[in-house]
Structure 1
Amino acid sequence: MKVSDFFGRRVLDKKANEIGKVVDMVIKPKEGIITSMIISTSDFGLTRKDLEIVTADIEEVGDYLILNVEKAELETRAQSNTEKEKVRLDIRK
């Protein structure tokens, strides 16, 4: 499967709720592996919220990318990462 095959692919959580679509990937070029994918929850810039999933979150790849986690858990992770980043920025000041 090509990396480009993932872009635009719809993503469902483990309860089959649509989360969004794949818009970007984080890769390790030297190892040739995908470490995570960025999921956009909206097509609109003002309400767009991106969530990051790691490859361990993927249950199945077919017409949809099906995850083994719920959307709420991904949102909690995103909020936690944002708070950690704010702390890092405060420390650097």
Structure 2
Amino acid sequence: MKIKEFLGSTVLDKNANEVGKVDNVDFDPETGKIENITLTLQKNIFSRDELEISFDDVATIGAYVILNKEILKEKEEEAKEEEETKTVEVEIEDDE
């Protein structure tokens, strides 16, 4: 596969959820090995985020780039954090 074919590839996490697209590739200039890839994560029409992952997290490359790890989307992360930080409010009445 040529690098120009790799750029723009759709990236799926280990659960086959679409994560984003390959935006950039970082090489080790001495060995020529890929060290990291930068993914563009589309949040909505006008907003995008980037995520840099190690090339070691790539399971396979073909029609899709498939990762060997799970990537939570922003809404899923927020829901998970919210679930972990739920608090219970207790109201104490004074008998005075």
| TM-score, normalisation: structure 2 | 0.68
| Aligned structure 1 segments of 4 or more residues deviating by more than 2 angstroms | 43-46
Residue 21 of structure 1: SS of its match in structure 2? strand
- Structure 2 counterpart of 1:3: 3
User: Matches of 1:22 and 1:37 in 2, distance apart?
Assistant: 7
Amino acid at match of 1:51: L
State the identity as a percent.
38
Matched, 1:15 2:15: yes
Number of residue pairs the alignment of both structures matches: 74
Matched, 1:30 2:30: yes
Amino acid at match of 2:25: M
The equivalences for 1:68-87 within 5 A come to 68-72=68-72
Q: Displacement of 1:2 after TM fit?
A: 1.7
Q: Displacement of 1:44 after TM fit?
A: 6.5
- Structure 2 counterpart of 1:54: 54
> If each structure's helix is expressed as a fraction of its own residues, which one has the higher value?
1
Assess, with a 3 A threshold, how the Cα gap between structure 1 residues 32 and 20 changes in structure 2: closer, same or farther: same
| TM-score, normalisation: structure 1 | 0.70
Larger Rg computed on CA atoms: 2
Assess, with a 3 A threshold, how the Cα gap between structure 1 residues 47 and 56 changes in structure 2: closer, same or farther: same
Note the aligned Cα RMSD (angstroms).
Answer: 2.2
